[in-house]
Structure 1
Amino acid sequence: MSLAGPRYPQAKADAPLVVFDFDHTLYDGDSGSHLFVWMIRRAWWRRVLALLIAPVFAPMIAFLPTRRAGISAFVWAGTIGLKRRRDLDELIDRYVAGNADAIRRRLLPHALDVLHRHREAGDRVVIATGAPPELARAILAFVAHEDVPVVGTEVGPRFGAVIARRHCHHAMKMRMLREAGFAGEIAIAYSDSSADLPLLQAARRPVVVNPKPDRVEFFRRTLPPGTPILNWGCPDRGGEPLPG
């Protein structure tokens, strides 16, 4: 799914590498959760199934060691019956096309402007997200008209559904970026999440965007002095607000 967008100079192999997280960085919210809620709501029996598993799996999402298992359970409820990754990709495209206006309102204009400026400068830009890569790719292509490489959570068939096989999260995000060919020094990394600490620490210039208010002091203690901690338009998040 794509529409014609801006034309950018071809990034050279030695151009600065710039990595953006997606959720709460370019997109106001958790795009994967919004997708899978939509998928679960497609049928009454999926809603019942999600309610039955919620007491066990919903609390697991709050803790890093069990987050993958908790998320996977609800992904399973939303995708049971799908047999191939391609089936999920097609469903994602349908979701994005059918909800384009609501999704567009969640994309952060200043964030997209920063992305646009990096691409105009000829930087190598990549999105690294915990969501399925087709979701961020479809949103950026269809809604924002940006065609940019995306590294995300690997999904595949299991237990009669299509669920996460490798979660692009924490240290695994760095590993998956390298495996995808984005080697060398990271010039700038943008993320909201302490789960992306390995990514932010690997960057020559980390930039914290839209952090949870109670994580601001953590970032100040953990990242180099002077690291920007910014708010790009999420009213319920922390960080220094945009001028004006």
Structure 2
Amino acid sequence: MLHADVVVFDFDLTLTRWETAARFFKAALRAQPWRMAVVVLAAPVLLPLLALRRTRRLPVRFAVWMATFGRSGTQLDRLAQAHADAVFAAGEAVFIEDAVACLRTHLANGDRVVIATGCWEPVARALLARGGLAEVPLVASTLRPWLGGWVSDQHCLGPNKIPLLTARGYPPPWAMAYTDHHADLPLLRNSAQWCLVSPKPECVRRIEQALQVRAPILPWRGQAAAR
């Protein structure tokens, strides 16, 4: 049965202007220089891992672990909130106006809107709250403690979004989906309608090739992909 009123939004670069988790963890590393120093010292070992598909995520996971090492869950939640506060205090435009307007239009029309993102949940939640979107349901990535730091637990990315959305009461198929990335192809396959938000040409090519349709594009972040 089609869930005719469920609309799924990606978060990073669909609603926001940058990759929010990456920015948060970089800030967490830079806040204490010794953490960044460890990452730099490990770079000769980590950088070659980027060349292989099966190991390319390891450097990122190490950086996240180093950024969270010695910090409790409560401390990290507070750090996420402080990060969101600092970003908004600096007057930075986190959210894309057209994207937020579209989301609010769906809400006004009575649609059930949910945000599904690979961003770490406390960071996404803190930014949404500061952006006046705290009421929108969020399905996001989680971390788990490991060897004094924190590592990925449930990563809400690509095909993983489907079971995570289902577990939260939003099973497919969905009425509409918005994303900027071809990693969300499984999401699009399970949506009656969908749009790409300022996608890169490679994203358009891969999605159009897989779905055999011309991709509808919304140039919310500026110039859309060349057609």
TM-score using structure 2 length: 0.89
Aligned length: 225
1:91-240 mapped onto 2 (5 Å cutoff):
91-102=79-90, 104-235=92-223, 238=225
Q: CA RMSD in A?
A: 2.3
Paired letter, 1:129: T
Question: Could you give the per-residue CA deviations for residues 152-187 of structure 1, whole angstroms, max 9, x where no partner exists?
Answer: 111121120122112111111111111122124211
Q: Secondary structure at the match of 1:222?
A: helix
Q: Distance in 2 between the 1:231 and 1:175 partners?
A: 29
Query: Which residue number corresponds to residue 21 of structure 2?
Result: 32
Cα 1:191–1:103 change in 2 (3 A) is farther
TM-score using structure 1 length: 0.83
Deviation, 1:37, is 0.6
Query: Which residue number corresponds to residue 37 of structure 2?
Result: 48
Q: Distance in 2 between the 1:154 and 1:75 partners?
A: 12
User: % of aligned pairs identical?
Assistant: 34
Deviation, 1:29, is 1.5
Paired letter, 1:128: A
Cα 1:213–1:26 change in 2 (3 A) is same
Asked if structure 2 preserves the Cα contact closer than 8 Å seen for 1:230 and 1:239, the reply is no
Question: Could you give the per-residue CA deviations for residues 115-167 of structure 1, whole angstroms, max 9, x where no partner exists?
Answer: 11011111111111111112111111113444211111111211201221121
Asked if structure 1 preserves the Cα contact closer than 8 Å seen for 2:10 and 2:116, the reply is yes
Paired letter, 2:170: F
Divergent runs of 4+, >4 A: 58-65, 101-104
Which stretches in structure 1 are left out of the alignment for 5+ residues?
1-13
Cα 1:209–1:66 change in 2 (3 A) is farther
Cα 1:16–1:57 change in 2 (3 A) is farther
